[in-house]
Amino acid sequence: MSLLKIFDIAGSAMVAQSQKMQMHASNLANTDSLINKNGKLYPYIAKKAILKYDNLDDTELGGGVKIKEIINDTTPLKSIYDPQSPISDSNGFAKISNVNVITETISAISASRNYQANLEILNTAKSMIMKTLSMGQ
Amino acid sequence: MEPLIHETMISTKNILDNQEILANNLANASTVGFKSALRSQIILSNNTDKEQYPHLLSKSYDQTQGPFISTMQPLDIAITNKSGWLVVQTNDKSIAYTRNGHLKINSDQQLTSQEHIIMGQNGPIVIPSDSKTRILSNGIIEVIHNDEDFSQELDKLKLVEININNLTYGNNGLYFLKTANQPDIKEIEDNPNVKLLSGTLEDSNVNLSENMINIMSDARKFDMQMKILTDYDENIQLINKFLNINN
């Protein structure tokens, strides 16, 4: 039933967008975090989500979407003069995270709106199904 | 709990904890011998790149020397070593450390700092009444007789050397040993390398503008977290409405 296929497509988009939103929230939360990896401290590297077309069941009518992978943002880290930082070098310069709060906030809003748009599609499909079911009454 | 809400919760909690540290720094901007506290938010990574919490708020102290203020008072001392400390006894007889060298003599003629009894080589130091004293740079307290013609050694201040990051700041303005790190160390021995400046006080090393800016930047970060939370909450409300079969 093609109306239920809409549920799958919109559902996959909602899962992907809410994961994307979570990633942006995590980036925002960690703007000045340090990562303890094997006993050494590193600045937090921003994460980026790569979305990919997901052909749910090989039809030509289209498929859903999924997060292909989460990659590290390759924007170079900035150095600031902060001799008190636990990761500052011998000259007193410390690397800081490459999270850009503006792009993160806006991407999070955009992901949220995308989620809501897919939810509207779901609502429409749901009311279509409900109308179909009440056809003979 | 939803991962996003959980992440936001930890982050806002850390921001508020940091505000507390910054407010305490600002409150002690003119406390003698106070050391500014710094914080860093550390993620414990388990090498999988996912699930990177819990965040850990680790507190450390700025070790730089505060500026010296000359007071010309014989009982004012400043410790010139970065990690030198005076030893005091708190009211419940436990040992604490302070760099506050604004010494006073209490009603029992004992030498005190902020009402806490200063420890000498053999316990509290009792200053004879009606006598002039001076404190030498190695911590020896001398009683002066007959207009500086003749002086007599009374006691020596107990001066110890501890890295400040092995201490924790108590609410009463004193620093205590972190017992978790060194459970076997009960008492630290006197260190003759710690030197004093008499007639001087060490001012707090708090950088006012830096702390103010950090407070403002934290307030903005808090707003950003709340914005994400509101957006997500709206989504949850919409999906809950969708789940309702009647509309």
Which tens digits make up the pLDDT trace of B206-216?
999 999 999 99
Contacts of A21 in chain B (CB under 8 A): 4, 228, 231-232
pLDDT digits (tens, 9 = 90+) for B73-88: 888 889 888 888 888 8
B4-10 long-range CB contacts below 8 Å, 24 or more apart? B4/A18, B4/A21, B4/A22, B4/A25, B4/B228, B4/B232, B5/B229, B5/B232, B6/B53, B7/A22, B7/A25, B7/A26, B7/A29, B7/B53, B8/A25, B8/A29, B8/B225, B8/B228, B8/B229, B8/B232, B10/A29, B10/B53, B10/B54, B10/B55
Residue B180: band (very low, low, confident or very high) from pLDDT cuts 50, 70, 90:
low
Predicted confidence band of residue A110 (pLDDT cuts 50, 70, 90): very high
Residue B224 near chain A (CB below 8 Å): yes
The reported pLDDT for the residue numbered A93 is 92
Query: Rounded distance, CA A17 to CA A21, Å?
Result: 6
For residue A6, how far is the Cα from the chain centroid?
Answer: 22
Q: Which residues of A touch B51 (CB under 8 A)?
A: none
**Which residues in B lie closer than 8 A to residue A70 (C-beta atoms)?**
49-50
Mean pLDDT of B226-242: 90
Average pLDDT over residues B201-228: 92
Write down the pTM of the prediction. Answer: 0.79
Average pLDDT of B81-109? 86
* Segment A4-57, tens digit of pLDDT: 888 889 999 999 999 999 999 989 988 888 888 777 888 999 999 999 998 877
Work out how many CB contacts closer than 8 A connect A with B: 90
Question: Six-digit token pair at A88?
Answer: 């500052």
CB contact under 8 A, A28 and B43: no
- Residue A7 distance to chain B (closest CA, Å): 12
Checking if the pLDDT of A98 tops 60, the result is: yes
Predicted local confidence at residue B48, as pLDDT: 54
Q: Is the predicted pLDDT of residue B186 greater than 70, yes or no? A: no
Q: In this model, does residue B157 exceed pLDDT 90?
A: no
B 6-65: CB under 8 A from A:
7-8, 10-11, 38, 40-45, 47, 49-50, 52, 55-56, 60, 62, 64
CB–CB contact B52 A31 (8 Å): no
Percent helix / strand / coil, chain A, rounded to 5: 45, 25, 30
Chain A residue numbers with beta carbons less than 8 Å from the beta carbon of B45 are: 35-37
- How does residue B166 score in pLDDT terms, banded at 50, 70 and 90? confident
pLDDT at residue number A51: 93
Q: What is the mean pLDDT of residues B105-125?
A: 86
Q: Is the pLDDT of residue B47 over 60?
A: no
